[in-house]
Structure 1
Amino acid sequence: MHEELQDLAKRFGHYGPAASDIGDALWDQLSKKIQVVIPAGGESKRLRGVTQSGFNKISTPLPNGDTLIEYNIRMYRDAGLTDFVLLVGHAAQSVEQIVGNGSKLGVKVRYSHDPEKPVGTGGAVRHALDKGLLDASKYMIVHNGGDIFVGYPGNLPREHVSHHISFEKQGSVATILSAPMSLVQGSVLKVMDGFVKNISYEAYVPMPYHTAATVFSPTIFEYFERIFKPGEKMEFERALFPVLAAEGKLTAMKVDNQYFLPVKNEKQWQQLLTIFANK
């Protein structure tokens, strides 16, 4: 099975060379033109058994007293980004009590409260845009508040933006952070002539996937206004990314799986607790 998977990797995971850093001068200019948007309104139904009552996934206290929302804000703050918009819904009060206006974290935070009915990530961004909480002249980084990057040996936000800027010259309007290996839940089989020749459980297969973050150029807001209808539930990965890919305007930067932890189920939550117990 190893050889077949390696062949699959060559077909689906050719990222090309890493982009050069944009340099301190340009980064200082760009950092003032970037808004970080963190969707933070989901119910995380698969984690109801482990999160605290009155909190959602990103606001639940971790073993060291930290929270996912503070951890993610600090990652971008330490890179030099200070303009944040939090898209809140379920247990919004718990997020606002922890983060406030952002001053204790050294950043500025605005809140966009989702409509009463769920609208998805794309709908929540469109809602914030309609309310005037997003600046359509700025770049935008959208980072799923419940997923984190851990132990990355560098300045990930700056590298992500540098990568996007290099491809922006070739027409890209969005650059996703992509892990090269997808985790397949359940059994992964190799079947030949009806016989199972190999089997593994929860195997990683070399199919790149979108992690937690995307850098968007300012022109993306035209797409949000055209594609996402006010009040409709739409995820931008499903509604927006296929359009951009078809137009040749969606690019990807590779980040190794070892640095990314999605927190979608109780097993991943326990991994998260272990990490933060040792911080």
Structure 2
Amino acid sequence: MRAIIIAGGFGSRLRPLTTRHPKHVLPVAGVPFLMHQISKLADADITEVVLAASYRADQFEPIVTAAKGIGVTVRVETEDHPLGTGGAIRHAAESMAMRPDEGVVVLNGDQLSGHSIALQAEEFAAARADVSLHLVEVADPRAYGCVPTDDAGRVTAFLEKSPDPVTNQINAGCYVFRRSVIDAIPAGAEVSVERETFPELLRSGAAIIGHVEDRYWLDVGTPEALVQASRDIVTGAVRTPAYPYTPSERYVESGAEVHSRASVRGGSAVSRGARLGANARVDGSVVMGGAVIADGAAVIDSVVGPGARVGMRTTLRGTALGDDAMVGADCELTAGARVACGATIPDGAIRFSSG
């Protein structure tokens, strides 16, 4: 079986972290996010993956090289213009030589999941389905479109957001398609698989089944979610083959400089080239390569981009700093603050926020 990863989005919700990088290469627990997905596919014996790419596609080349190390061949197929999720799947599949009845695993490029792709693929084959959707149950489905299923597990509808949802099952962004279904998507057109392809298949009587697993799932689409995903991997709340280490309070990559009196805890991840000064505190956060956390600074539930600097005695809470951003000494940045790439916050800026 082969796989497609949809990796063409601009990552607007993740700005400023995505101003210079596609969201799929941002480090999560010290590993580019795509490698968590590729290693999960490798665990399901999938060794051929196509990345449906667009934004800053040149930055995927290190991923291609890293994937070879775990026995996975990755090709990057770049769109000339935006094709939507359905169009991206159709475009990526054109480079795959396979029979019309074979299954293709398709992953959204910003989902972290603990579910079994192998089990989903087995159920797809046993049911002779046209499409299988991974569904998860959420406590409050009002923020999502819902996907109800019948007693046999077949999808009965694709419903928009509602204040009174009929089910708490939502689309978790992992599919198995029969190749012939992908080939029926119009070539070269902008198509939404969620809003167009799936409802049309349902109206035509296609066999669409839901694969429901009550395991970890997270949409890694905001700085807050990226921090949570990294923290959950480091602490062991979710396991991924790309992170083989024992769950702990911290992951400090070789080549990071951490002062003996600095504190790293709460599932924090500190990348190679980062520097933490005396009495610096990093708690439940992501500190990317080349970032500097000065003496006495506190970084809490935050993400500090590559080359960014946090001044002495400054506190960040729920903050995202873009590449090469600089925050002066004695500042306090409150939850939700986002500092653009290369921007400078002067000394003593108290309670600076995004609002």
- Counterpart-to-counterpart distance in 2, 1:166 and 1:122: 25
1:147 maps onto 2:104 in alignment: no
Secondary structure at the residue paired with 1:184?
helix
SS at match of 1:240: helix
The DSSP-based 3-state class of the residue aligned with 1:102 is helix
Higher relative contact order (CA 8 A, sep 6+): 1
Aligned to 1:81: 46
- Alignment partners' CA distance in 2, 1:270 and 1:206: 29
Shift of 1:203: 11
Contact 2:141 2:170 (8 Å CA) reproduced? no
Structure 2 counterpart SS, 1:233? coil
- How far apart in 2 are the matches of 1:265 and 1:157? 24
Q: Does structure 1 residue 36 correspond to structure 2 residue 3?
A: yes
> Which among 132, 135, 138 is matched to residue 97 of structure 2?
135
SS class of match (2:34):
helix
- 1:153-204 Cα distance to aligned partner (Å, 9 max, x none): xxx1110011111211xxx210100113354349xxxxxxxxxxxxxxx999
The within-5 A match list for 1:176-255 is 176-181=133-138, 183-185=141-143, 206-224=167-185, 228-230=186-188, 232-246=189-203, 247-255=205-213
Question: Are 1:184 and 1:205, in contact at CA under 8 Å, matched by a contact in 2?
Answer: no
- 2:25 partner SS: coil
Equivalent of 1:108, from 73, 83, 101?
A: 73
1:48 equivalent in structure 2:
15
Alpha-carbon distance in 2 for matches of 1:229, 1:222: 8
Cα pair distance change 1:80/1:273, threshold 3 Å: same
Distance 1:177 1:208 in 2: 10
- Structure 1 residue 40, shift from structure 2 partner: 0.8
Q: Residue 58 of structure 2 corresponds to which residue in structure 1?
A: 93
| SS in structure 2 of the partner of residue 111 of structure 1 | strand
SS for the counterpart of 1:264 is: coil
The aligned counterpart of 2:290 is none
What is the distance in 2 between the residues matched to 1:83 and 1:221? 17
Q: 1:136 to 1:106 in 2, by over 3 A?
A: closer
Aligned residue for 1:75, secondary structure, equals: helix
State the one-letter code of the partner of 2:130: V
Alpha-carbon contact 1:101-1:109 (below 8 Å) kept:
no
By percentage of residues, which structure has more helix?
A: 1
The correspondence for 2:27, drawn from 61, 65, 68, is 61
Distance in 1 between the 2:194 and 2:46 partners?
24
What is the rounded CA distance, in whole Å, between the counterparts of 1:206 and 1:39 in structure 2? 27
Offset at residue 97 of structure 1 (A): 2.1
Aligned-partner residue type, residue 174 of structure 1:
V
Q: 1:277 offset after TM fit, Å?
A: 3.9
Q: Once the 2 structures are TM-superposed, how far is the Cα of residue 53 of structure 1 from its aligned partner?
A: 4.7
* Change beyond 3 A, Cα 1:233–1:269: same
Deviation digits for residues 76-130 of structure 1 (CA, Å, limit 9, x no counterpart): 1012111111111112122222333831221111111111x2111111122234x
Alignment of 1:11-30 (within 5 A): none
Larger radius of gyration: 2
The structure richer in strand per residue is 2
The 1:185–1:128 alpha-carbon spacing in structure 2 relative to 1, beyond 3 Å, is closer
Cα separation, 2, equivalents of 1:238 and 1:185: 16
- Kindly tell me: are residues 94 and 248 of structure 1, through their superposed partners in 2, closer, same or farther at Cα, counting changes over 3 Å? same
CA-to-partner distance for each residue in 1:214-268, whole Å, 9 max, x for gaps? 00123213422xxx241x3211121111122221421111022x41111123332
**For residues 113 and 165 of structure 1, do their structure 2 counterparts lie closer, same or farther at Cα, with a shift above 3 Å needed?**
same
Q: CA RMSD in A?
A: 2.5
Contact 1:263 1:272 in 2 (8 A): yes
Of the candidates 246, 251, 271, which is equivalent to residue 228 of structure 2?
Answer: 271
- What TM-score do the two structures reach when normalised by structure 2? 0.55
Cα contact 2:64–2:73 (8 A) shared by 1: no
Hey, what's the Cα distance between the residues in 2 that align with 1:66 and 1:209? 27
User: For 1:46, what is the secondary structure of its paired residue?
Assistant: helix
Which of 214, 217, 224 aligns to 1:260? It is 217
Give the match for residue 124 of structure 1: 88
Check conservation: 2:132, 2:211, Cα contact below 8 A.
Answer: yes
> How far apart, in 1, do the equivalents of 2:108 and 2:219 lie?
9
Q: What is the identity percentage for the equivalent residue pairs of Structure 1 and Structure 2?
A: 23
Gaps of 5+ in 1: 1-33, 187-201
Distance 1:70 1:203, change over 3 A: farther
